[in-house]
Amino acid sequence: PAGVAQSASASRQWVSDELTGSARTVAERAREAGDAWLHQVWRGTLFAVWGAAGALLVGASLTAIGAGWSTARTAGLIAALLTAGLLTAAARFHRARG
């Protein structure tokens, strides 16, 4: 600006203020991008966990066609669903608490 052109001290202060404002803007954008990235990772991880549990269900069901259903298959599915549920709860709790 024209007002700071005559004073070196005012010029330095103006440049410092501009750089500070730019740094704040960059930090805000980086924080928003980081939050968006974490949300994508969170969703992707939950899809993978529940997808694996679903794949286990399908695989156990297909292999049980000839051999019959067993308590080991039931235990495996319960363990997978319990693990997926606990991971989902932990992810939601961690996401809510930061």
The 8 Å CB, 24+ separation contacts for 5-10 are none
Over residues 40-54, the pLDDT tens digits come to 888 898 999 999 999
The answer to whether residue 97 scores a pLDDT higher than 60 is yes
Over residues 27-77, the pLDDT tens digits come to 998 888 877 888 888 889 899 999 999 999 999 999 888 888 899 999 999
The 8 Å CB, 24+ separation contacts for 31-35 are none
Tokens of 50: 């529940």
Give 2's pLDDT tier (boundaries 50, 70, 90).
low
% of the chain at pLDDT higher than 70: 92
